[in-house]
């Protein structure tokens, strides 16, 4: 709970000297090039984004953050190299917190100053997760570089000495990662709109938010499963050849019967129908051996058989 705050508080205290004012805790990189892509997500860097398919190299308005952690060197902890991309007329920010619903979040803000021709600038803030208030803080950040293009803001920076390992157990390098934006008008930061908040992620593991075989993340009941759009029904599936469709059943108009399925359309009456044993059929009487039934009859009607037998019997009797 308090761990995340402790981490940053400890780091803050470590690097906060009494004479630091304003933005002296920030240092900018000479390199102004910002190149943020999905390359390496889940492998060499931990990526968090909203919506899921966010491609930061495109011009989409999605929010994307990636972190790369250095190897932990106690007692100094790890250095986090962070990339952040998103759209705002004010600012975008990534928040790190131990618990998004209490305590505080450390916000790293990349912003544009609309009253100064949209120039890029960077700030750190602490957000009270209870009442969302922002308080300027002086967390040391280095290698800051950023660019603004219209409302698109991209920035990269390094947060040194994120020092969790000597305060908490090793698995407590987990932080919830918050992504969001806000306004910057008249020199004042508006409230941080959290658009996405991850579950606690181990920032030292690039794949800590990649679903594994045992990821119980799905809580919503699946009430409306849709088939994948490119699932193809095997083309040579054949209907059982002795299945008859009820003649009064109408098929759904957009259901297609497989092309090579043949429906039985000429049911044949068995040709070896046996006559009553004491009845002799004159040799010149030919039995129909291939009676074609109406196509919509699935079975021989009993009364039809009786009628047929009656006619045959009558004709035999008349001839005797
Ligand atoms: C920035 O560039 C200047 C001149 O190229 C160089 O003297 C200075 O050391 C560089 N600073 C950093 C932090 O690389
Ligand atoms: C940006 O980085 C990717 C790899 O991450 C690289 O392929 C691409 O050439 C880079 N683009 C620029 C403009 O540096
Ligand atoms: C604002 O930026 C544009 C493009 O970078 C530039 O052409 C223009 O001179 C700038 N205006 C001011 C007042 O700095
Ligand atoms: C956060 O805000 C709440 C309500 O205003 C306050 O009680 C609490 O002390 C604040 N927490 C911090 C760490 O400032
Ligand atoms: C199923 O999904 C469709 C659109 O995806 C939605 O309109 C419909 O209400 C859903 N039905 C149920 C039962 O959830
Ligand atoms: C179609 O399915 C294959 C695997 O069965 C999958 O790799 C591919 O991405 C799917 N394509 C689309 C457009 O869904
Ligand atoms: C058709 O079915 C046969 C065996 O039933 C199978 O070997 C073949 O792969 C199937 N062809 C297609 C296109 O599904
Ligand atoms: C075919 O019809 C027979 C007799 O009605 C039935 O026992 C059998 O299960 C049917 N086979 C199939 C594949 O439907
Ligand atoms: C379906 O027809 C095939 C060949 O016509 C036959 O070998 C098979 O036994 C028939 N199946 C049934 C269930 O009648
Ligand atoms: C289809 O025919 C069967 C038997 O003739 C009858 O019981 C059934 O009600 C009919 N169904 C419809 C939808 O007309
Ligand atoms: C099939 O028809 C039903 C009802 O007319 C309709 O709701 C459904 O969208 C149709 N599906 C396709 C793939 O056309
Ligand atoms: C059935 O398949 C053949 C080729 O296998 C195709 O030429 C024909 O157009 C298909 N008919 C229908 C109704 O899809």
- Please provide the average confidence, as pLDDT, over all residues in the chain: 70
* Number of separate domains in the chain: 2
What is the Cα–Cα distance from 205 to 214, expressed in whole angstroms?
17
**For a pocket test of ligand 8, which of 242, 270, 299, 300 has the largest count of ligand atoms closer than 8 A to its C-beta?**
242
Residues of 36-52 as b/e, b for ≥16 C-beta within 10 angstroms? bebeebeeebbbbbbee
- Whether the CB of 37 sits within 6 Å of ligand 2: yes
- Whether the CB of 35 sits within 6 Å of ligand 2: yes
Do 102 and 184 contact (CB within 8 A), yes or no?
no
State how far the alpha carbon of 267 is from the alpha carbons of 161, 246, 251, 294, 320, in Å. Answer: 84, 14, 21, 8, 34
Q: Which of 166, 185, 202 is the last residue of a domain?
A: 202
- Report if residue 115 sits inside a domain: yes
User: What phi and psi, each to the nearest 5 degrees, are found at residue 238?
Assistant: -110, 145
- Whether the CB of 236 sits within 6 Å of ligand 7: yes
% pLDDT > 90, the chain: 32
Q: Does residue 174 share a domain with residue 318? A: no
Token pair belonging to 233: 């029904």
What is the CA(133)–ligand 4 centre distance, in A?
9
Residue bearing the CA closest to ligand 2, atom 2 = 35
What is the Cα–Cα distance from 176 to 117, expressed in whole angstroms?
34
User: What phi and psi, each to the nearest 5 degrees, are found at residue 94?
Assistant: -115, 135
Q: Which of 146, 173, 202 is the last residue of a domain?
A: 202
pTM (predicted TM-score) = 0.50
Return the ligand 8 atom nearest residue 242 CA: 1
Q: Does residue 278 share a domain with residue 191? A: no
Condensed to tens digits (0 to 9), the pLDDT of residues 121-150 reads: 999 999 999 999 999 988 889 999 999 999
- Report if residue 141 sits inside a domain: yes
- Whether the CB of 241 sits within 6 Å of ligand 9: yes
Do 92 and 153 contact (CB within 8 A), yes or no?
yes
Condensed to tens digits (0 to 9), the pLDDT of residues 205-264 reads: 898 888 765 444 444 444 454 444 554 444 444 444 554 444 443 344 344 444 554 444
How high is the pLDDT of residue 1? 46
Q: Does residue 197 share a domain with residue 311? A: no
Any idea which residue has 């009553």 for tokens? 276
What is the Cα–Cα distance from 87 to 108, expressed in whole angstroms?
15
Condensed to tens digits (0 to 9), the pLDDT of residues 39-79 reads: 999 999 999 999 888 899 876 779 999 999 887 766 667 88
Q: Residue 318 is part of which domain span?
A: 274-284+301-320
- Side-chain-side CA neighbours of residue 248 (13 Å): 0
The CATH number that applies at residue 112 is 2.60.40
- Report if residue 213 sits inside a domain: no
β-sheet bridge partners, residue 84: 65, 155
Return the ligand 9 atom nearest residue 241 CA: 1
What is the CA(258)–ligand 11 centre distance, in A?
17
How high is the pLDDT of residue 74? 67
Do 163 and 191 contact (CB within 8 A), yes or no?
no
Q: Does residue 97 share a domain with residue 198? A: yes
Residue 117 predicted with pLDDT over 50: yes
What is the CA(261)–ligand 9 centre distance, in A?
13
State how far the alpha carbon of 230 is from the alpha carbons of 42, 112, 316, in Å. Answer: 27, 43, 65
Residues with CB under 6 A from ligand 5: 223-224
- Whether the CB of 226 sits within 6 Å of ligand 6: no
- Report if residue 32 sits inside a domain: yes
Q: Which of 176, 202, 228 is the last residue of a domain?
A: 202
Do 29 and 4 contact (CB within 8 A), yes or no?
no
């Amino acid at each position: 709970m308090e761990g995340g705050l402790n981490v940053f508080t400890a780091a803050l205290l470590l690097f906060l000297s009494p004479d630091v004012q304003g933005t002296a805790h920030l240092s900018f990189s000479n390199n102004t090039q910002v190149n943020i892509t999905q390359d390496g997500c889940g492998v060499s860097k931990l990526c968090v984004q909203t919506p899921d398919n966010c491609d930061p190299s495109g011009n989409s308005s999605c929010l994307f953050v990636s972190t790369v952690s250095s190897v932990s060197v106690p007692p100094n902890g790890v250095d986090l190299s962070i990339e952040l991309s998103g759209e705002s007329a004010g600012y975008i920010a990534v928040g790190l917190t131990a618990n998004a619903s209490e305590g505080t979040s450390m916000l790293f803000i990349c912003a544009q100053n609309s009253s100064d021709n949209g120039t890029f600038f960077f700030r750190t803030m602490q957000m009270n997760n209870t009442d969302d208030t922002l308080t300027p803080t002086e967390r040391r950040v280095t290698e800051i570089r950023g660019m603004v293009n219209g409302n698109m803001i991209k920035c990269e920076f390094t947060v040194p000495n994120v020092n969790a390992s000597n305060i908490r157990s090793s698995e407590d390098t987990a932080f919830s990662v918050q992504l969001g934006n806000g306004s910057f008008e008249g020199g004042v930061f508006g409230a941080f709109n959290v658009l996405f908040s991850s579950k606690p992620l181990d920032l030292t593991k690039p794949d800590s938010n990649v679903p594994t075989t045992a990821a119980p993340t799905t809580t919503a009941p699946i009430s409306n499963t849709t088939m994948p759009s490119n699932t193809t029904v095997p083309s040579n599936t054949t209907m059982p050849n002795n299945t008859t469709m009820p003649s009064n059943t109408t098929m759904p108009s957009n259901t297609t019967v497989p092309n090579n399925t043949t429906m039985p359309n000429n049911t044949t009456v068995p040709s070896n129908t046996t006559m009553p044993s004491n009845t002799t059929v004159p040799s010149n009487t030919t039995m129909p051996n291939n009676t074609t039934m109406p196509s919509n009859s699935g079975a021989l009607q009993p009364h039809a058989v009786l009628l047929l037998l009656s006619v045959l019997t009558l004709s035999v009797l008349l001839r005797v």
